Amino acid sequence: MENSSMYIISVYSENQVGLLSSISNIFTRRGINIESLTVFPSEFPGIHHFTFRAITTERAAQQVVGFIEKKVEVVRAFCFPDNATSAAEHGILADYLKNRNQ
């Protein structure tokens, strides 16, 4: 078995009623407990930023990210170990939105 550790799952989405519950269901269905959750407007206009912290395996975290990204209103999702930080995601997202907004 893979080791479990704390992961941060970072989600950027359109603002949509019901989306938070839909995303949290993706954790629930896999028996993953959400340790903490924050929701706030991102620096990108109209895009909300959720961060979830959860203890899980890397494989499960990657799967959760895949299923979250399948939600129509989700723009991008990322996961990384809690001890790392990702500045790269902002760059990726900025590029993505630049392309999609055209």
Partner 1 sequence: MTGAEILLESLLAEGVDTVFGYPGGSIITVYDKMYSYADRLRHILVRHEQGAIHAAQGYARATGRPGVVIVTSGPGATNVITGVADAMVDSTPVIVIAGQVGNALLGTDAFQETDVVGMTGPIDKWTFQIRRPEDVATAVAKAFHIASTGRPGPVVLDFTRDAQVGIADFDYQPCRHIRSYALPAPADEAAIEAAAQLIDDAERPFVVFGQGVLLSHAEDQLKAFLKKGGIPAASTMLGLSALPSDFPYYVGMAGMHGNIAANLMTQKCDVLIAVGMRFDDRVTGNPSTYARQAKVIHIDVDRTEIGKIIPAEVGILGDAAEVLGRLTERIRFSFHDEWAASARRYECVEQEKVCVPETAPAGGPVNMGEVVARVSELSGRDAIIVTDVGQNQLMGARYSRFARTRSFISSGGLGTMGFGLPAAIGAKTGAPDRQVVLFVGDGGIQMTLQEFGTIMQEGTAVKVVLLNNNWLGNVRQWQELFYGARYSQTRLLNPDFSLIAQAFGIRYRCVEERAELEDALREMLDSPQAYLLDVHVREEGMVYPMVPGGRRMDEILLNKDEWYRDGE
Residues near partner 1, by CB under 8 A: 13-14, 17-18, 21-22, 25-26, 29, 63, 66-67, 69-70, 72-75, 97, 100-101
What is the phi/psi pair of residue 84, to 5°?
A: -105, 165
> Which CB atom, from 83 or from 102, has the smaller least distance to partner 1?
102
Min CB(20)–partner 1 separation in Å: 10
Q: At what angle do helices 19-29 and 58-70 cross, to 10 degrees?
A: 150
> Which CB atom, from 54 or from 75, has the smaller least distance to partner 1?
75
> Which CB atom, from 25 or from 85, has the smaller least distance to partner 1?
25
Min CB(96)–partner 1 separation in Å: 9
- The 3 state secondary structure assigned to 65-79 is HHHHHHCCCEEEEEE
Distance in angstroms (rounded) separating the CA atoms of residues 88 and 62: 17
Residue type at 90 in one-letter notation: H
Min CB(84)–partner 1 separation in Å: 22
